[in-house]
């Protein structure tokens, strides 16, 4: 059997051959020490991807992938929303990256993206699946090198990630919404909450297809959020989501009506695709406007930022392209002095993966957190983690190698979609 080379020898040889004095930087020293402390089956240059397998929950709307290698090291990744029906796409991408070194995350991402130019690689299912695989590569690389993902991304600006609680509440009386807000703050110490104000069953709607807010709808929305603000006082941030289900005129009217309530933001009053319409809303109000959960890749955010169409961007890091792409989106936003507040409707694996990115960029504002982490036992059973999920409204960023959260196969199998292969 071939004698295995130690990580220390690998680093010292690489330093002499190609890295020169770069290991004299602090990051280089940290990397050297981390690798020296780890055992390794062979040198990182010998790592090869052997297979990519997947599993689904929530009727295909949550995709989990594992990327395996020839050294008994694997990475976990997750994607959401644009994932039903993607099993064969996962397998196709898995074949395309088989045999490649998983430490070349950016190169693999670009190879797969370019290969898919005529297969839908501008967004949707293609990019969502690539997101899960790319995230798994970061997890794998961190484990191979003994470093948390935030360190691979260049280090961290913060040790914990502030989150807002999505209460999943929009169709209740104002006093009930106020009670939900109070419970979120008192029981879990959240410093920010979010409420939905779109309601397809509102009797005041003009008809099921008309996107213009009626006076009755507008009053109902205002009454609900006014009750929440009265209950919480001025020191708790409130976010309001319209899910892109209204027109530009309605967006202006709702934003203007909400101005006295000092929202953290009004989220997606109109669909994502028309940046110019967003700009008209944003310019009409002092209420901050936020959008981006249905945009893909850095390209998808370019025009929003160039024309000042929104005040805050909120890419979903489990479908926008992955962790490296998420950092690129945040860095582009930073050029325009625009806050970065990611959307997050995944499991705790996705939440922690997002937290690593949020830790690594200066313009992070806040990350979404779902009430289902506290109300649905599935979300504790499908992952393994050592530290508390959340402490006083903040996610502690994991210092474990990789993402720091593992898929619990036994727990996930309990909830897996039965008509789809499970990690095969």
The confidence score (pLDDT) of residue 412 equals 98
Is 17 within a domain? Answer: no
The confidence score (pLDDT) of residue 31 equals 46
Rounded Cα distance, 251 and 211, in Å: 10
How many domains is the chain partitioned into structurally?
Answer: 2
Tokens of 209: 């297809």
What stretch of H or E contains 394? Answer: strand 394-396
The confidence score (pLDDT) of residue 216 equals 97
Average pLDDT over residues 381-386: 97
Do residues 218 and 118 both lie within one domain? no
The confidence score (pLDDT) of residue 42 equals 54
CB-count exposure of residue 26 (10 Å: 0-12, 13-18, 19+) = exposed
The confidence score (pLDDT) of residue 306 equals 98
Tell me what percent of the residues of the chain surpass a pLDDT of 70: 90
Diameter of the chain by CA atoms? 77
Average pLDDT over residues 50-54: 98
Do residues 245 and 363 both lie within one domain? yes
Q: Is the pLDDT of residue 8 over 70?
A: no
Is 13 within a domain? Answer: no
Do residues 117 and 43 both lie within one domain? yes
CB-CB contact of 130 with 321 (8 Å): yes
Is 278 within a domain? Answer: yes
Average pLDDT over residues 267-276: 96
Is 73 within a domain? Answer: yes
For the residues of 158-188, what is the DSSP string, one character each?
A: -SEEEEEEE----SS-HHHHHHHHHHHHHHH
Do residues 343 and 217 both lie within one domain? yes
Do residues 320 and 212 both lie within one domain? yes
Rounded Cα distance, 35 and 334, in Å: 32
Q: Is the pLDDT of residue 194 over 70?
A: yes
Do residues 139 and 206 both lie within one domain? no
Tell me what percent of the residues of the chain surpass a pLDDT of 90: 88
- pLDDT by residue (tens digit) across 217-252? 999 999 999 999 999 999 999 999 999 999 999 999
Here the CATH number for the domain that contains residue 360 is 3.20.20.120
Beta carbons within 10 angstroms of residue 50's beta carbon: 15
Is 322 within a domain? Answer: yes
Do residues 221 and 124 both lie within one domain? no
Tokens of 241: 């989501």
Domain that holds residue 137: 1-7+25-147+407-424
C-alpha distance from residue 35 to each of 39, 347, 356 (Å): 8, 30, 20
The confidence score (pLDDT) of residue 17 equals 39
Is 200 within a domain? Answer: yes
Average pLDDT over residues 65-93: 97
Q: Is the pLDDT of residue 5 over 50?
A: no
What stretch of H or E contains 225? Answer: helix 215-232
Do residues 119 and 181 both lie within one domain? no
Do residues 318 and 171 both lie within one domain? yes
Is 58 within a domain? Answer: yes
Average pLDDT score over the chain = 91
C-alpha distance from residue 304 to each of 145, 185, 266 (Å): 37, 33, 16
Tokens of 361: 């960029």
Q: Is the pLDDT of residue 25 over 60?
A: no
Average pLDDT over residues 260-277: 97
- pLDDT by residue (tens digit) across 319-359? 999 999 999 999 999 999 999 999 999 999 999 999 999 99
Do residues 190 and 142 both lie within one domain? no
Tokens of 218: 């507008």
Is 220 within a domain? Answer: yes
Here the CATH number for the domain that contains residue 81 is 3.30.390.10
Do residues 183 and 276 both lie within one domain? yes
Which segment of 165-169, 328-332, 380-384 scores lowest on mean pLDDT?
A: 165-169
Query: How would residue 3 be classed by pLDDT, with cut points 50, 70 and 90?
Result: very low
- pLDDT by residue (tens digit) across 92-112? 999 999 999 999 999 999 999
The confidence score (pLDDT) of residue 192 equals 98
Question: Which one, of 66, 14, 50, lies nearest residue 35 by Cα?
Answer: 14
Q: Is the pLDDT of residue 1 over 80?
A: no
Tokens 């989990």 found at: 64
- pLDDT by residue (tens digit) across 293-304? 999 999 999 999
Q: Name the residue with higher pLDDT: 173 or 1.
A: 173
The confidence score (pLDDT) of residue 9 equals 44
Do residues 93 and 68 both lie within one domain? yes
Average pLDDT over residues 165-182: 90
Query: How would residue 16 be classed by pLDDT, with cut points 50, 70 and 90?
Result: very low
Q: Is the pLDDT of residue 422 over 80?
A: yes
Rounded to two decimals, the pTM is 0.89
Average pLDDT over residues 36-62: 82
Query: How would residue 29 be classed by pLDDT, with cut points 50, 70 and 90?
Result: low
The confidence score (pLDDT) of residue 215 equals 98
């Amino acid at each position: 059997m071939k004698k295995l080379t130690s990580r220390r020898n690998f680093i010292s040889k690489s330093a002499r051959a190609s890295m020169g004095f770069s290991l004299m930087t602090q990051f280089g020293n940290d990397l050297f020490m981390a690798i020296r402390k780890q055992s390794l089956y062979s040198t990182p240059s010998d790592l090869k991807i052997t297979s990519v397998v997947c599993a689904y929950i929530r009727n295909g709307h949550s995709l989990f992938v594992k990327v395996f290698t020839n050294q008994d090291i694997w990475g976990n990744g997750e994607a959401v929303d644009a994932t039903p029906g993607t099993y064969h796409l996962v397998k196709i991408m898995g074949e395309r990256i088989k045999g490649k070194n998983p430490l070349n995350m950016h190169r693999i991402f670009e190879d797969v993206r370019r290969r898919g130019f005529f297969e839908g690689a501008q967004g949707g299912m293609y990019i969502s699946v690539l997101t899960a695989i790319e995230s798994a590569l970061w997890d794998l690389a961190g484990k191979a090198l003994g470093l948390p993902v935030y360190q691979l991304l260049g280090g961290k600006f913060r040790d914990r990630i502030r989150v807002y609680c999505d209460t999943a509440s929009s169709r209740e009386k104002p006093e009930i919404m106020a009670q939900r807000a109070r419970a979120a703050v008192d029981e879990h110490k959240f410093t920010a909450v979010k409420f939905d104000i779109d309601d397809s069953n509102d009797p005041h709607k003009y008809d099921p297809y008309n996107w213009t807010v009626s006076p009755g709808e507008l009053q109902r929305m205002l009454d609900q959020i006014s009750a929440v603000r009265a209950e919480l006082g001025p020191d708790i941030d409130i976010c309001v989501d319209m899910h892109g289900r209204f027109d530009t005129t309605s967006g202006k009217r709702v934003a203007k009506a909400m101005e006295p309530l000092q929202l953290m933001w009004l989220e997606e009053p109109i669909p994502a695709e028309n940046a110019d319409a967003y700009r008209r809303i944003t310019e009409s109000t002092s209420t901050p406007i936020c959008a981006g959960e249905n945009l893909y890749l850095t390209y998808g955010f370019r025009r929003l930022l160039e024309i000042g169409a929104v005040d805050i961007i909120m890419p979903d890091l489990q479908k926008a392209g992955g962790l490296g792409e998420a950092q690129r989106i945040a860095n582009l936003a930073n050029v325009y002095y625009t806050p970065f507040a990611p959307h997050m409707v995944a499991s705790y694996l996705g939440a922690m993966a997002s937290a690593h990115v949020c830790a690594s960029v200066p313009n992070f504002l806040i990350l979404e957190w779902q009430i289902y982490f506290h109300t649905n036992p599935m979300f504790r059973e499908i992952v393994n983690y050592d530290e508390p999920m959340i402490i006083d409204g903040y996610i502690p960023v994991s210092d474990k190698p990789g993402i720091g959260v593992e898929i619990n196969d036994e727990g996930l199998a309990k909830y897996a979609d039965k008509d789809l292969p499970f990690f095969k």
